[in-house]
A and B are shown apart, each in its own frame.
Chain A
């Protein structure tokens, strides 16, 4: 049944007739429904899991309902290249930095209680399809000491990780060839993998219900103003503020300027480009002004194969000494996996084409070596996705820029963005609303470390 909004239609019609009268400004073409609003307190650039998490926490932590206007700008509503949907979906606490362990612990708590956090009246409950089977990290003689130290720290933070000798490993998982393995660490709880799309959809639905606005468009320009100040050493410092974000609409030359107070850079693999647009890194090298955001897209391949005699239902996400990783997918003895390339092997990130030779030459031999059953496998499909790779220390960049004072970063997670998104979103909301990190101290992850050359290295990158 169609409800005829007769009065509304009549007045609209009247307006149109009026506008084509000579002398009136024509607004026949001005269908503004798809344009973003003219003002927003916060503009989040990037509508992937990290951007949406920031939006969620901003609305959740705002002091008064409706206090903050948030706009999420995403240029591709199909998310065809966004890292979120292309992710293998893993979550682990087995990191070498305490903050990363804490972020993961919080994220897993968030995922477990997802239907309390993201509940929407009349909305069906979310099923993240979480597989609680843990990660199994294998270390050679060379890496054993570091693995042990890391596990000790992870346990102190509250993660449930067990250490296994090669004998224990062989007993538990008979399908492994333990040659070359000196020590293994195994997540007993709170580790595994889940469906990133469900999380993305759930977040999107929730933040829309909280009043967050969405716009499909691309940020092409920032309008900024500068202010010179003197620091304690008497040096002149140029501080900038972004006043407007220009959002270009898809398939058109139209753009809409959005006045804003704060911009959040959650553009993932493209966050480096976005930072440049704001003038970050445009200065003499070696100065703070000349320090770029060192995040660039790195292409990673994921392969799906079938192996009828492969490891069974209990298989964790296994990471081998060679860097190769795999996990089960579904019930029919299918597996997904891949390997991070060395610097020399880095593929060209210009597109998301898959290199099948990489599997043949660089992945399969190691798979078969570690799991003899994988000698007989058949690849069914493959895809590629981007890591928003931090070339400096492979860890996220969170919090405000020291000079462009109202740009906040939430990117550079180098392959662990999905699993840290809930915690990162909360951290960014805390520092944006309250001026400092509260629950997890993310101070080491601020932008300034790039200028001060203080690396915060994450060793366990998969």
Chain B
């Protein structure tokens, strides 16, 4: 029974992996921007090339082949809300050197490791939304300091961030030229703040009992 469950788990992980492979063939033939666009469209997201309208795929993830005609046109904005993009899938987006707006709202696999790669978009990225991403914590948000051109950042509804109010303040200090949108933290009670800094917070890391040492099973 355990074997079956492990199998199912592995199949799920393999599916996500497969969906996040690199579109190198398209990249070689049509260039990075089109490869990136195809990748996003296949995931159900939308793409905006410079001076063009938004393109999205239909409910069967099919999209028009006219995308392949935009060879010299850079991708300016991507809406990948809810897409199953992961750390490896980002390989298809990071080469987009003119990308200005990126929405990764509610992406289930976007985690702190993914955020640590976004520095590669620092030259162009101006707007970023991470709202609702379940796996992001304040540790990943700290990596965004590389994005010196960022003007708008949405970090609302992040369940992985323990102290949203304090985190937002720290992020605002970190990115002084950026408008940071978070959940309305003025409604947080005092009990939600971390311990008073004047009191000892961490003693020496307590030796922890890792349970029954004699697992002679």
Contact = CB atoms under 8 A, between A and B. Distances in A.
Contacts of A458: none
A306 B208 contact: no
B65 interface: no
A383 B204 contact: yes
B48 interface: no
B164 to A, nearest CB: 11
A71 to B, nearest CB: 9
Contacts of A381: 200, 202-204
B198 interface: yes
A331 interface: yes
A201 interface: yes
B5 A132 contact: no
Contacts of B174: 312-314
A110 interface: no
A329 B171 CA distance: 16
B115 A132 contact: yes
Nearest to A249: B214
Interface residues of B, number: 47
Given A189-B119, A331-B167, A79 B204 contact: no
Given A189-B116, A215-B216, A383 B205 contact: yes
Contact of A313 (B5, B87, B145, B197): B145
B143 A133 contact: yes
A334 interface: yes
Nearest to B143: A132
Contacts, number: 125
A133 B174 CA distance: 13
B194 A332 contact: yes
A216 B209 CA distance: 12
Given A77-B213, A86-B205, A132-B112, 11 more contacts: A74-B213, A78-B209, A80-B207, A132-B116, A211-B217, A214-B215, A216-B214, A312-B173, A381-B200, A381-B202, A383-B205
26 contacts: A33-B214, A34-B214, A77-B210, A78-B208, A79-B208, A79-B210, A121-B2, A129-B137, A130-B112, A132-B140, A132-B142, A188-B146, A189-B116, A211-B217, A213-B216, A313-B170, A314-B145, A314-B174, A330-B194, A331-B138, A331-B166, A334-B201, A334-B202, A380-B201, A383-B203, A383-B205
